[in-house]
Amino acid sequence: MSAAKLRRRAQRDTFGNSFGVLLALAGSAVGLGNLWRFPYLVGQNGGAAFIILYLIFVALLGIPLMLSEFIIGRRSRANARGAFRTLAPGTRWDLTGFIAVLCCTLILSFYSVVGGWGIEYFYKALRFDFTMGLTGDLSTLFSGFTASTWRPLVCHTLFMLATGLIVAYGVKNGIERFSKVMMPLLFIIMIGIAVRSLTLDGAGAGIDYLFRPDWSKVTSHTVLDALGQAFFSLSLGSGMVITYASYVKAEANITKICINTAVADTVFALIAGCAIMPAVFAFAISPGEGPGLVFITLPYIFSQLPLGGVIALLFFLALLLAALTSSISILEVVVAFAIEELKLKRKTAVWLCMSFIWLLGCLCSLSLGRFGSELSLFGRSLFDLFDAISANVLMPLNAMLVVIFLGWKMGRGVIADELTNNGANNPPAWYTKSLYIIIRWLAPAAILAIALFQWLG
């Protein structure tokens, strides 16, 4: 390797320690996917059966995939595209990295719009709009707000600026420091809300709904939704793990970090489920409300509870923090690409990427309102389209390419080297062997089968 290349690598930012890496990764994983997407998908897909499929996907595909991305990122020490260029020079595998960058661009554009809704609702909660005696229709309030032109745009802009500001500070001083403080706070708030919800009269029906499966509700859609949600929630197939892993020191135990991240994310999704569904059932509301669930149903519930105003405030604070620790990771994928591939300074890269994604986000937001018919394709608003394309197409596609790359192009030796930190630690042989089989055979076959099943069905 040339001296210049070595120097450039040495100058790359790194995470401070393994705990910081874990919190940053968990910060990325835990987000609107857990608090906004997971509850409404559970509601639309019939409850426990969806959750069980989701858990199977996390354990069987999610963790091996996260490890695969981790191996590629730490070994190459490069951004999502550079990683493939470094490990397989002269090939077109770098297209996989392009897909990841495109995917993150699309995700952040609609994610930031929802983050903006979080700002609006946090502001409403600060004014104690959701306290007892609330009058007016919350569904009309929500659809009126999201379909209006200016207010959601202002909130989206604020959310994007906050994201850009943290990323501009860099990996250790921005992303790691923010995640270290906010993640524990987030867990504490959500556990408090779940306890309140679980102790409501009539909460039992919600618990049944979450944990007693009704398999007759499962369709091919449910399966793909569960897979898409597992990828979305663990931030897989988006180049995020590759990018973060490229900042991780050589001695970190990657198996431990990946399993802990997946467990933290899953526990958090279940806590969110326990915070939301028991309350939904206690107030006899339909769980299949769709994307409006946390913005319509929950405020209604808060308005019926003693001290509901305070709970609303804490909930929307949690939502905002969770959204921010994820949005910074999505932006970092695009920014790292711009810094290393387009040779830009971090601050310039942040401004450029942020402005472009902000613009796309504005279109997403406007597609939900007055410009709905102009800003729609294939009968879907741009907002819905970006969500569906990223979670159900680009993420699984990218994830499949990642495991094929690692299992077939890199091979067993590279996987073993990284899992053992080049021989420094000694995981049991069955572990490395079965992981290799999952990465080489099972994961690509499963992703392909589910995708075909959905597209042909």
* Contacts to ligand PFF by CB under 6 A: 28-29, 31-34, 104, 107, 232-233, 235, 238, 240, 326, 329-330, 333
Smallest gap, in angstroms, from Cβ of residue 391 to ligand PFF? 8
The pair of structure tokens assigned to 154 is 């202002």
Compute the distance between CA of residue 133 and CA of residue 284 in angstroms, rounded to an integer.
18
Question: Which of these, 34, 86, 97, 73, lies nearest to 268 by C-alpha position?
Answer: 34
In the complex with ligand PFF, which residue's Cβ is closer, 20 or 239?
239
The pair of structure tokens assigned to 86 is 């470094």
Sign of the dihedral through C-alpha 271, 274, 277, 282: negative
The pair of structure tokens assigned to 317 is 């604070």
Residue that the structure tokens 């959500």 belong to: 190
Smallest gap, in angstroms, from Cβ of residue 229 to ligand PFF? 9
For the beta carbon of residue 128, count every other beta carbon within 10 angstroms. 14
The pair of structure tokens assigned to 162 is 């906050």
In the complex with ligand PFF, which residue's Cβ is closer, 303 or 327?
327
In the complex with ligand PFF, which residue's Cβ is closer, 236 or 419?
236
Smallest gap, in angstroms, from Cβ of residue 204 to ligand PFF? 28
Smallest gap, in angstroms, from Cβ of residue 236 to ligand PFF? 8
Question: Which of these, 256, 200, 266, lies nearest to 234 by C-alpha position?
Answer: 266
In the complex with ligand PFF, which residue's Cβ is closer, 112 or 329?
329
Instruction: Classify residue 253 by its DSSP letter.
Output: -
Q: Which residue is nearest to ligand PFF (CB)?
A: 33
In the complex with ligand PFF, which residue's Cβ is closer, 232 or 405?
232
Smallest gap, in angstroms, from Cβ of residue 262 to ligand PFF? 11
Compute the distance between CA of residue 161 and CA of residue 337 in angstroms, rounded to an integer.
19
In the complex with ligand PFF, which residue's Cβ is closer, 166 or 203?
166
Smallest gap, in angstroms, from Cβ of residue 99 to ligand PFF? 12
In the complex with ligand PFF, which residue's Cβ is closer, 101 or 375?
101
Contacts of 232 (CB under 8 A, 6+ apart): 33, 37, 390, 391, 395
Smallest gap, in angstroms, from Cβ of residue 403 to ligand PFF? 17
Smallest gap, in angstroms, from Cβ of residue 389 to ligand PFF? 13
In the complex with ligand PFF, which residue's Cβ is closer, 86 or 238?
238
Instruction: Write 42-45 long-range contacts (CB < 8 A, 24+).
Output: 42/210, 42/273, 42/277, 42/287, 43/277, 43/280, 43/286, 43/287, 43/288, 43/289, 43/290, 43/293, 44/225, 44/288, 44/290, 45/217, 45/218, 45/221, 45/222, 45/225, 45/226
